Amino acid sequence: MNKISLYIATLFFTIFAANISAGDITKGKEKSITCVACHGQDGISVSPIWPKLAGQHQSYLASQLHEFKKGPEGKRNNAIMYGISLALSNEDIDDLSAYYASLDKSIGTTADDSFKLGQNIYRGGNMEYKIQACIACHGPNGDGNGPAATPVLSGQHAEYIYSQLKNFQSSMRSNDPNKMMRNIVHRMTDEEMKSVAQYIQGLH
C-alpha cells in the first residue's frame, strides 16, 4: 500500500469518525445483553471465532455495525450480525460502541513457533512481495488509530484475526477503502497469515 492509498483511507475513516456521536456508556451496557452470548461478559469472548470487543475504538465498532446493517448489499455481509444490527438504531449503535470502547481489553499469548515470522510480518512486512507491515496502520503495540477508525488488534483471538484475513483475501469482506487490506493479504501465504494472527494475539 503506497502513501497515497494510506492517506485516502485515513481521510475516509477520519471523516466517518467525526460523525460518530459520543454515545451513552450506561445505556450501551443495558443494550449489550444480546451481545453477551457471542462476545462474552465485558466484551471478552470465550470462543476464539468471535472477536473481543472490549477496548476496541468506538469509531471502528460503529463503522462495522453500520456495515453489517447493509446486509448482502454491503461490503461486510454476515447473516448473524445482519439480523442483529437491523434492529439497532443509530443511537443504539453509538451507545453500544461507547460501552465496549470503555472496557479494558484482554491480552492472549503467542505460540512460540509463530512468533518470529509473525513479528517479522507485523513489524517489517515482506518487501520482496510488497507486503506492507501491519505496524504502519495498527501501530507498534496493535492499538490502531481511533480517529481513522483503524481497529485495535492487540490481544485479539488469533483464530478470528486469521478468519478476517482470509475473508479479505477472498473478497468476502471488502469494506477496506482503496482495497488496502485486500492488496496486502492476496500476496500473503497461509503460513504468514496464521503466524501474524498468532503474533497479534499476544501483542501489547
Find the CATH number of the domain harbouring 68. 1.10.760.10
H helical segments located in the chain: 3-18, 25-31, 36-39, 58-69, 79-85, 90-102, 112-124, 135-138, 158-170, 182-185, 190-201
* pLDDT confidence band for 19 (50 / 70 / 90): low
Q: Do 76 and 45 belong together in one domain?
A: yes
Asked if residue 29 belongs to a domain, the reply is yes
- Domain C-terminal end among 45, 71, 102: 102
pLDDT at res. 8: 45
d(CA 109, CA 107): 7
- When the pLDDT of each residue in the chain is averaged and rounded to a whole number, the result is 92
d(CA 22, CA 19): 10
Q: Which residues of 143-155 are buried (b: 16+ CB within 10 A; e: fewer)?
A: bbbbebbbbbbbb
Q: Sign of the C-alpha dihedral, residues 112, 117, 119, 122?
A: negative
- Domain C-terminal end among 53, 73, 102: 102
Q: Do 78 and 155 belong together in one domain?
A: no
Q: Do 179 and 154 belong together in one domain?
A: yes
In this structure, which amino acid lies at residue 33?
I
pLDDT mean over 43-61: 98
Other CB atoms within a 10 A radius of the CB of residue 110 amount to 18
Asked if residue 8 belongs to a domain, the reply is no
- Domain C-terminal end among 102, 125, 145: 102
Asked if residue 4 belongs to a domain, the reply is no
Q: Do 167 and 98 belong together in one domain?
A: no
Q: List the one residue out of 198, 188, 175, 55 whose CA is nearest residue 133.
A: 188
Q: Do 118 and 194 belong together in one domain?
A: yes
Question: By residue range, what is the domain housing residue 134?
Answer: 112-201
* pLDDT confidence band for 7 (50 / 70 / 90): very low
Specify the 3-state DSSP secondary structure of 126: strand
Tally the domains of the chain: 2
Q: Are 203 and 105 in contact (CB under 8 A)?
A: no
pLDDT, tens only, 88-132: 999 999 999 999 999 999 999 999 999 999 999 999 999 999 999
Other CB atoms within a 10 A radius of the CB of residue 73 amount to 6
